[in-house]
């Protein structure tokens, strides 16, 4: 094999390497759990930002509702959409070192953030992932868990809690076998101290 052939072979391997790596199968269970963890971290950063905006005002609107235990359907479209660059400018580096743009499946996260009047808008902060298939189910969601094996379900975090998250349903014996309980329940994620709202899930 002459020098020219070796150089050509090396070049082919160099340009085909990344493509081969990109085609490796994704561990879907790990990707789902990774998305939940990333969304929890982003959400905590967003709530820390929100607290800094409203620390001198009593909780109203979405902040008061976030401490409620009701399980009403949510409307994602009620929260003003924010681009990745817009949210990055708000959170990095003060509240978050790095803002992930895509979920572990490689699909873009969708963000929302109310910056003009966070105390009055119905929904203020949010992140969602379309799941494995990369297609969002819509904008209206029932609040509650779904089967972790349903990997195409959207993951939705809104105003301090997960509205849609993977969790095993109780078995016939009555025991919950969930491997992903709701990481940010409504109650306990926000707390009011002397009229000020603080995140309780940092």
| pLDDT tens digits, one per residue of 36-74 | 999 999 999 999 999 998 865 545 444 444 445 456 889
Q: Is residue 130 part of a domain?
A: yes
- Tell me what the pLDDT averaged over the chain comes to: 77
Q: Is residue 169 part of a domain?
A: yes
pLDDT tens column, 162-192? 999 999 987 655 544 444 444 444 433 444 3
Query: pLDDT: is 192 or 100 the higher one?
Result: 100
pLDDT at 2: 59
Look at residue 2 and tell me if it is in a domain.
no
In a domain, 1, yes or no: no
Neighbours of 184 (CB within 10 A): 25
pLDDT at 68: 52
What pLDDT shows up at residue 45? 96
Please tell me the predicted confidence (pLDDT) of residue 72: 80
Please check the confidence at residue 194 and state whether its pLDDT lies above 50. no
pLDDT at 117: 82
pLDDT bracket for residue 118 (50, 70, 90): confident
Neighbours of 112 (CB within 10 A): 21
pLDDT at 198 over 60: no
Quote the CA–CA distance of 20 and 176 in Å, as a whole number. Answer: 40
Q: Which helix H or strand E contains 14, and what residues bound it?
A: helix 3-22
- For range 19-29, the mean pLDDT: 62
Within-domain flag for 14 = no
8: in domain: no
Instruction: Count how many domains the chain has.
Output: 1
Share of the chain above pLDDT 70, in %: 63
Domain range for 167 = 26-199
Region 75-83: mean pLDDT is 95
Distance CA 21, CA 19 (A): 5
**DSSP for 113-170, written as a single string:** E--S-TTTSS--EEEEE-TTTT----SEE-SEEE-TT-TTSPEEEETTEEEEEE-PPB
What 3-state DSSP class applies to 13?
helix
Task: Provide the CA 131 distance to its chain's centre, in angstroms.
Answer: 11
| pTM, 2 dp | 0.72
Res 170: pLDDT: 78
pLDDT of the residue at 173: 55
């Amino acid at each position: 094999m002459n020098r020219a052939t070796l150089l050509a072979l090396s070049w082919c391997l160099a340009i085909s390497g990344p493509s081969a790596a990109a085609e490796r199968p994704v561990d879907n269970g790990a990707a789902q759990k990774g998305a939940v963890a990333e969304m929890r971290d982003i959400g905590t950063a967003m709530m820390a930002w929100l607290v800094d905006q409203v620390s001198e005002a009593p909780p109203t609107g979405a902040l008061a509702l976030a401490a409620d235990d009701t399980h009403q359907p949510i409307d994602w479209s009620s929260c003003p959409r924010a681009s990745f660059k817009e949210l990055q400018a708000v959170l990095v580096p003060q509240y978050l070192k790095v803002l992930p743009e895509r979920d572990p499946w490689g699909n873009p996260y969708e963000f929302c953030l109310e910056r003009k009047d966070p105390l009055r808008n119905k929904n203020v902060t949010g992140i969602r992932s379309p799941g494995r298939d990369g297609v969002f189910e819509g904008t209206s969601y029932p609040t509650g868990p779904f089967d972790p094996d349903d990997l195409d379900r959207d993951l939705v975090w809104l105003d301090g809690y997960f509205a849609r998250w993977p969790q095993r349903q109780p078995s016939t014996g009555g025991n919950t076998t969930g491997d992903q309980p709701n990481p940010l329940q409504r109650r306990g994620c926000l707390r009011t101290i002397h009229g000020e709202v603080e995140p309780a899930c940092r």
